[in-house]
Amino acid sequence: MATSAFDDHTGNRRFELLVQSVTDYALYMLDATGRVVTWNPGAQRFKSYSAAEIIGEHFSRFFTPEDRDAGLPARALETAAREGRFEAEGWRVRKDGTRFWAHAILDPIRSDDGSLLGFAKITRDITDKRLLEQAAYASELQFRMLVQGVRDYAIYMLDRRGVITSWNSGARAIKGYEEAEVVGQHFSRFYTEEDRARGAPEAALETALHAGKFEAEAQRVRKDGSLFWAHVVIDPIHDESGEHIGFAKITRDISEKVRAEGELRQTQAELLQSQKLQALGELAGGIAHDFNNLMTVMSGSADFLLRQPEMPAEKRNRYLHVMLETAERATSLTSQLLAFARRQPLEPEVIDLSVRMDAMGEMLQRTLGSQYELQLDLSAALWPVEIDPTGLETALLNAVLNARDAMPDGGSINISTRNLSRSVGDMVELALSDAGEGIPRDKLERVFEPFFTTKPTGKGTGLGLSQIHGFAVQSGGAVNIESEVGQGTTVRILLPRTTKPVREEARGQLDVTIPVGLKVLLVEDSGHVRYFARHLLEDLGCDVVEAEDGHEALRLLDEHQFDIVFSDIVMPGMSGVDLGKRIKQMGLDLPVLLASGYSSKQFIPAHQRDFPILRKPYKLETLAAGINQLLPPAD
């Protein structure tokens, strides 16, 4: 059906209304020469000209002088006419001379026969978009300049597989590769062969992706094959939608830091060794002083006894008692050294501290002398403790002697016991107080350190208080010390309460009688100790056969019948423990008693031992008790 003139007019009117309603775009027409023939509100808003001001004017007035001089308006018309379209972005000029960034499209309008009638022009103001793009570009350029300007850090990017996609000057300086050499290569080339073999590069990316970050210090490889220590950080990169697109990698060369730390550790080790040598020197001086005093008494007394064989028995016994007490003091000093070396075997027993302190009181008073008064304040209902009695006696003797030395002009020493209930459990406190010189605050913090002593050089080993501390800790307890200069010192030993009953035999005297005529195989590599042990056994009524080592003992076992084997533990070739096990393997139902100053390099706890152990130095009473515990009960 033919279109009427009315319909054409209506359609044109509607189209005109559409164009006139658009304000975000400048929509207007040009004639074939480029002069404006129509003008919409959008064009008036962008360019500030009214229709009356601009219709009939050439559209080139919207171009900048630079573009007009360059012939851009005429070129735009020619391009649109020739190619059917011209599109560009550039600066355009408003009526007031201000500029805006425009996106312009120019389309030719032709008649039905193809002749050029004019042009349709669409312009949009995209100044804000342009400014944002420029700002983003400037920011990106600044960031790129920043990254490229950093030379102390290798900063580069990886794709999702670990392939390098960017490379900064720091990476070039640290790793030696130019950008063209590594972009497109996998970053694992910087790892050592060992790290690549165990999958370290892949594990690093996996950790970064799932944990949000990977950080490590390790050796990496430069282009020339040399190694350097690197601090590495890898972070995953996600786009705006949250999709993982790659990794950011930052590496720093910390070889100098690692070298400096190594030198520091070496210096510290050398300093520690120097301090150890100094401490050992102080220890040697104190031990030499103490042992010289002890040996002076021993050698002097022995020499005097030899020179006067007809000495009255009372006087002779007095000298012998002095020698015995001196030997006990030497044993105590040796015990301190063994405790410090952690080779002192522990023989815990359940005891009542108040009972034990009451029994020791007379001995301690005799040790102190008449200048000192020992006062005992002992709880009558004390909880039992499970400790090593010898370790306790050594610790107490050390504390008493320290108290005596702090009061050179004499004084009073107080020993007390009491029960304490604490959050960590029930404890029994053994406290020793003196009214001596006290310890300065700057030295108080160090008194439990091995070798440290507040006494003059050569007057102490520095092991006394450290032995007390070691005894308390090994017993499951603690020790603390309170002191003020001129006000005296208090040492408090805290020991854990036990629910086990006190052993009645611990309260009584040791039995020194054993069945007469026991045949004993004595195994001891030291001739002097073997001679001493033989005489003790013979004094107990034993028939003794000697062996210098374990192999000789096994030979004698094939030739003789014995009731018991008494052997040292530490011997060349075969230890006493090994000897006892061989005896068991031979099927001999033969009791074995071992003796040692220390049990072994790694002490065997009492509940794990195959054989009982007698601690050296032993006496007649302890030897008899050790033998008796192995013999079957009498009928």
Is the predicted pLDDT of residue 459 greater than 50, yes or no? no
Nearest to 614 by CA among 628, 593, 600, 591: 593
Per-residue pLDDT band at 308 (split at 50, 70, 90): confident
Stretch 571-586: mean pLDDT, rounded? Answer: 90
Q: What is the pLDDT of residue 146?
A: 54
Q: What is the pLDDT of residue 450?
A: 54
Q: Which DSSP symbol is given to 237?
A: E
471: amino acid identity, one letter: F
Q: What is the pLDDT of residue 164?
A: 92
Instruction: Tell me how many degrees the CA angle 258-261-263 measures, rounded to the nearest 5.
Output: 110
- Domain edges within the chain: 5-131, 150-253, 267-337, 345-505, 510-628
Q: What is the mean pLDDT of the chain?
A: 80
Asked if omega into 617 is within 30° of 0 (cis), the reply is yes
Is the predicted pLDDT of residue 203 greater than 60, yes or no? yes
- Per-position DSSP letters for 153-221, written without gaps between them: EEEEEE-TTSBB----HHHHHHH---HHHHTTSBGGGGS-HHHHHTTHHHHHHHHHHHHS-EEEEEEEE
Four-CA torsion 497, 498, 504, 508, nearest 10 degrees: -40
Q: Could you give the percent of the chain with pLDDT greater than 70?
A: 78
Stretch 38-61: mean pLDDT, rounded? Answer: 89
Stretch 310-320: mean pLDDT, rounded? Answer: 76
Q: What is the pLDDT of residue 460?
A: 45
Stretch 288-315: mean pLDDT, rounded? Answer: 70
CA dihedral (334, 335, 338, 339) positive or negative = negative
Nearest to 552 by CA among 586, 591, 525, 527: 525
Most confident of 5-19, 284-298, 522-536: 522-536
Architecture of domain 345-505: 2-Layer Sandwich (3.30)
Residue 411: helix, strand or coil by DSSP? strand
Nearest to 439 by CA among 450, 431, 430, 448: 448
Q: Could you give the percent of the chain with pLDDT greater than 90?
A: 32
The length of the chain is: 635
Q: Which distant-in-sequence residues (6+ apart) come within 8 Å of 253 by Cβ? A: 152, 174, 228, 229, 230
Instruction: Tell me how many degrees the CA angle 220-223-226 measures, rounded to the nearest 5.
Output: 55
CA dihedral (622, 624, 627, 632) positive or negative = negative
Stretch 321-345: mean pLDDT, rounded? Answer: 63
Identify the residue with better confidence: 477 or 445: 477
Per-residue pLDDT band at 236 (split at 50, 70, 90): very high
Domain pair 345-505 / 510-628, same fold:
no
**CA 173, chain centre distance (Å):** 34
Helix (H) or strand (E) holding 83: helix 72-83
- Is 3.30.450.20 the CATH number for 150-253? yes
d(CA 85, CA 228): 61
Is the predicted pLDDT of residue 428 greater than 90, yes or no? yes
Per-residue pLDDT band at 405 (split at 50, 70, 90): confident
Residue in the block written with tokens 């076992």 = 557
Is the predicted pLDDT of residue 487 greater than 60, yes or no? yes
Q: Which DSSP symbol is given to 601?
A: S
Query: Domain 5-131: which CATH class?
Result: alpha beta
CA dihedral (107, 110, 115, 119) positive or negative = negative
Stretch 496-508: mean pLDDT, rounded? Answer: 69
What's the burial of 239, exposed, middle or buried (CB within 10 Å: 0-12/13-18/19+)?
exposed
Question: What's the helix, strand, coil split of the chain in %, to 5?
Answer: 45, 25, 30
Is the predicted pLDDT of residue 281 greater than 50, yes or no? yes
Query: Domain 510-628: which CATH class?
Result: alpha beta
Stretch 117-132: mean pLDDT, rounded? Answer: 84
Per-residue pLDDT band at 207 (split at 50, 70, 90): very high
What's the pLDDT tens digit per position in 176-191? 999 899 999 999 999 9
d(CA 40, CA 20): 5
pTM: 0.37
Residue 579: helix, strand or coil by DSSP? helix
What's the pLDDT tens digit per position in 7-47? 444 545 554 555 565 567 888 889 999 999 988 888 888 88
